[in-house]
A and B are shown apart, each in its own frame.
Chain A
Amino acid sequence: MAKTPAKSSATTSAKPSKAKSPATPISQPEAVPGPKKVRVHYLTRVEGHGNIVVDVEADGTVSTCRWEVPEAPRFFEAMLLGRDYTDVHHIVSRICGICAIGHQLASLQATEDALNINVSEQTHLLRRLALHGENLQSHLLHIAYLVLPDLMGVDSILPLAQTHRDAVLKFIAARRVSNEFSRLICGRTTHPQRMVPGGFTMFPSTEELKSLHTMLKDTLPNLDFAVDLFATLLDRFPQFERETEYVGLVSPAEYAMYWGEIGSTKDERRPVRQYRNITREYIIPTSTAKWTRNQGESYMVGALARFNLNAEHLMPKAQAAAKKLGLKKGCTNPYYITLAQLVECVHTVEESIIQVEELLSRGIRDEAPAKPTSIAAGRGAGAVEVPRGILFHFYEYDDHGRIFQADCVIPTNQNHGNIQKDMDALVPQLSGLSEKELELRLSMLVRAYDPCISCSTHCIDARGLDTGARSLVRINRKS
C-alpha cells in the first residue's frame, strides 16, 4: 500500500488531519471566536530553541505576537580573542553543527584576507564543492525531515517512513550522497578537518572523485522525484504575501554562493567589507540573538532571497524545476523558501557535476597549503552563502597572527526581524482560526525560514552599535 507517494499523500493525510489539526485545507479554516492564546514553547523541527507567543483578544485584535529566542548565549567572538589564525576556523565551526563547513569557509576567507594568503585555483574549486555538499545536505534535511511532515499532516518523518517508505528512502538516499560528498571533499560532514588557511591538508583521490561524479549523476532522478512530489503539494502551502527586502551575494557571472558582492533588491551593491552598512544589528530583550534591518524594517536572507536576486543564473535543470514548482523571480511568499531550497538542490548537483569534471580534467594535485608571506596585523572579511543565507565573518589580527577582535553575522540573525514582521502581518489575517491552526501556521512560517537558532545567538558584536554609531572602521587599543 501507499507505494506511490505523490498520489497517496492526499488520502493518508486526510486521516491524521482529524486527530491532529494540521494537514489539508489550510486556506479555508473554520471560524472560532473568542480570546485565544498560543504558546509554542521550544518550537520543534528547527535547530535551536525558539518560542512563539500570541494573544488574540475576544474581538479578534492581536494584543501580543512575539518570536522569542531564549537560546543560551555561547560568546564565540569572545572565545576567539587571542587565538592563533590556524585555530580560528576550527573554533567557529562549532557555532553550528549543520553549517560547519560554511562557517569554516567564511572564516578562512576572512583570515586569508587579513593575512594576505593567496590560495590556488584547485583550493577554490574544492571549497566550492565543499559548500555545495553542505548546502545540499542541509536543504534536504529541511525539505524532507522538517517541512514535509507539516505538508503531510504528521508530526515527523518517522510515520512517513511507514506510510510513504519509497519517497522517504529516496530522500534518505539523496542525503546519504550529500554526506558522502562532504566526507570525500572535507573529511567529514560536521566540523570537517581538512580545510586550513591556505588550502587543504588532504585531497580526494581521482577514484573518489569519479565515484562522486557517478553518485551525483544518480542523485538527479531522486531530486526530479522530489520536485514532482512538491509540485503536487503546492496547494498545501499557505498563501501569504509580504513585500520585504531580499539580501544575498550577487555576481555577474554565476548564481553567487561562494563569493561576490552584497546585493539587495532595494539597495545598491556593496563590497563584503561594508557588511555593517547592511546588517545594522540591534538587540531586543526577548531575544539572545541580534536583529538586523537595512532599507526597510527588516530583510530576508536565504534560498528565496538568493533566488529573487539571481534566478537567471540558475543551471538549466534548476530553471526547469523552478518552472515546475511555479516559482518566479520576485516571489514574496515566505512559505516558498522551501521550494527555493529544492530548486537550489538541483542547481547544486548540476554545478557540482561540472566542477568535479573540471577537477578530474585538471588532475588533482597534492599541494601544500599556502603560507602567509609574513605575519602582520590586519583586518579581513569573508562572506559566503550558507544554507540559511549570507554569512559574514570579520576578523582583526594582531602582529602575532592572533585574533584581536572578531565579528560574525549569522543568516538566521538577519532573518529574526523578518520573521517577526511576517508574524505581525500574518496574525491579523488568521483571527478566525482555532488555536491549533494558528499555532500550526505560525510554526510553519518560522520553520520555512529553516532557522538555525543556536547558530544565530552566538555571534553578536554590539560594541559601539548601541550608541547608534555605524562606522565600519573601529580603532581598538590594547589595555
Chain B
Amino acid sequence: MAKPKIAFFDFAGCEGDQLQIANLEERLLDILGHVEVVSFREVATGHSDDYDVAFVEGSITRPEDEIRLKEIRKNAKVLVALGACAAIGGINCLKNFLAENVYREEVYGGQARWFSTYAARPLKSVVKVDAEIPGCPIDPTEFARITKELLLGRSPWIPDFPVCVECKQAGNVCRYEMGRMCLGIITRAGCKAACVSQGAHCWGCRGLVPGANLDAARIVMDRPGTSRKAIQDLLRFFLGDTGAAL
C-alpha cells in the first residue's frame, strides 16, 4: 500500500504549531516513516497538489485566502485545522472588535488601503473541517496521537470535558480560590492544564468545551475585585469568534 501523503499549509498565524511538530524531534522521524510529506514549506523545498491529509495552520484574514483554502479543501481527503488560529480564530480575532479603519490606520497610517484584509475567522467559516487539533500552541503529543488515528482511518477524538477536570488531576489550587480569573471552566481540556500548572491561568486557547454554560461562567467570574472589562478582555483573548466574547 502506498504511504498516505500529507501536506502542511499556513495562513495568518505565527507558525508556532508547525514548530511544535518540528519539536517532536526523534518522534517526528518515526511518524515520517509512515507517511510521505509532499508539502511542508517551513522545513522542506518541493510541493505537490496530490495529498490525502492537509494540515492547515492560521486564520483566514483576506478574501484571497478563501480561494487558496478552497483549493486545498478540493485536493485533500481530510482537512485538519492545526492550532487555535485555524480551529477557533484565536488571537487574530482580537482585531475584529476594532473598526476596520482604526486597525488599518493604526498600523499602516496613510497607506492603510494598500493591503487587503477583513475580519479574521477560523477555517470552518469557509470550508468543511474534518478534524481539529486545538491549542496555542498545539500539544505535540496530541498531534502525534491524532495523526496516528487519522492514519488508521479513525475519526480522531479530542476531549469533550473542561480543563478543570485535568487541572484537578494535576493537583492545582483553583485560581478562583486565589481570587483570580480563569477560563478553565468553559475551555476544552486536552492540554493537561498546562498554563495553570505553570502558575498562570487558562486563557481558553483550546476553544469552548461542547455545551459550555457561558451564563454560569459569567456569574462565576463576575465578583468583587474583578471588573467587567477584565472579564471581557479575557473572553476575547482567544474566543473572539465565539458567543463568549460578546
Q: Chain A interface (Cβ within 8 Å of chain B)?
A: 42, 44-48, 71-79, 81, 83-84, 87, 90-91, 94-98, 100, 141, 145-146, 149, 155-158, 161, 169, 172, 175-176, 179, 187-194, 196, 200-202, 283, 285, 288, 454-455, 459-467
CB-CB nearest 5 A-B residue pairs: A97-B16, A201-B199, A156-B44, A462-B109, A78-B103
Per DSSP, chain A at the interface is loop
What residues of chain A lie closer than 8 Å to B199, measured between beta carbons?
193-194, 200-202
Give the complex CA separation of A146 and B62 in angstroms: 29
Contact A466 B198 (CB under 8 A): no
A-chain residues with CB within 8 Å of residue B25 when the two chains form the complex = 172, 175-176, 179
State which of A78, A157, A193, A464 has its C-beta within 8 Å of the C-beta of B102.
Answer: A78
Name the residue of chain B whose CB is nearest to the CB of A165: B29
The answer to whether B23 and A179 touch across the interface, beta carbons within 8 angstroms, is yes
> How many residues of chain B have a CB within 8 Å of chain A?
60
Interface 1/0 per residue, B110-154 and A, CB below 8 Å: 110011010000000000000000001100000000000000000
Q: Does A454 lie within 8 Å of B198, measured CB to CB?
A: no
Chain B nearest Cβ from A144, distance in angstroms: 10
> Which residues of chain B have a CB within 8 Å of any CB of chain A?
10-20, 22-23, 25-26, 29, 32, 37, 40-47, 58, 61-62, 65, 90-92, 94-95, 98, 102-111, 114-115, 117, 136-137, 194-195, 198-200, 203, 230, 233, 237
Given contacts A97-B14, A190-B16, A288-B115, contact A45 B107 (CB under 8 A): no
Number of A-B contacts (CB under 8 A): 186
Subset of 15 A-B contacts with CB under 8 Å:
A73-B115, A75-B103, A76-B107, A78-B107, A169-B26, A176-B26, A188-B137, A190-B20, A191-B137, A192-B198, A193-B194, A283-B109, A283-B111, A285-B114, A466-B109
Cα A403 to Cα B30 with chains together (Å): 46
Closest to B60 in A: A72
**Complex contact B11–A72 (CB within 8 A):** yes
Measured in the bound complex, the distance between the Cα atoms of B45 and A155 in whole Å is 5
A97–B200 CB distance below 8 A:
no
* A-side contacts of B19, CB under 8 Å: 97-98, 141, 189-190
Chain A residues with Cβ below 8 Å from B45 are 44-45, 149, 155-156
| A83 partner residues in chain B, CB cutoff 8 A | 233
Chain B, Cβ-Cβ closest to A93: B14
CA distance A402 to B77 in the complex (A): 46
Most chain A CB inside 10 Å of its own CB: which residue of B65, B95, B203: B95
A462 to B136, CA, bound (A): 29
Contacts of B109 in A (CB 8 A): 283, 461-466
A466 touches B111 (CB 8 A): yes
Q: Is the CB of A48 within 8 A of B15?
A: yes
**With a CB–CB cut-off of 8 A, which chain B residues contact A146?**
43
B42, A47: Cβ atoms closer than 8 Å: yes
Q: Which of A76, A94, A187 has the most CB of B within 10 A?
A: A94
Give the complex CA separation of A157 and B37 in angstroms: 12
Whether the Cβ atoms of A74 and B44 lie closer than 8 Å is no
In the complex formed, the residue of B with least CB distance to A458 is: B107
Min CB gap A78→B, angstroms: 4
- How distant is the Cα of A97 from the Cα of B136 in the complex, in angstroms? 10
Query: Which A residues touch B23, using CB under 8 A?
Result: 175, 179, 189-190
Residues of B within 8 A of A187 (CB): 194-195, 198, 200
Q: Which residues of B contact A84 (CB under 8 A)?
A: 230, 233
Q: Which of these, B62, B98, B137, contacts A78 with CB under 8 Å?
A: B98
Contacts A465-B109, A466-B110 given; indicate if A45 touches B44 (C-beta within 8 A): yes
Give 17 new A-B contacts, CB below 8 A, not counting A156-B44, A189-B23. Answer: A44-B44, A45-B41, A45-B44, A72-B12, A72-B62, A79-B94, A91-B91, A94-B136, A96-B14, A96-B15, A98-B16, A146-B43, A149-B44, A176-B25, A283-B109, A463-B106, A466-B109
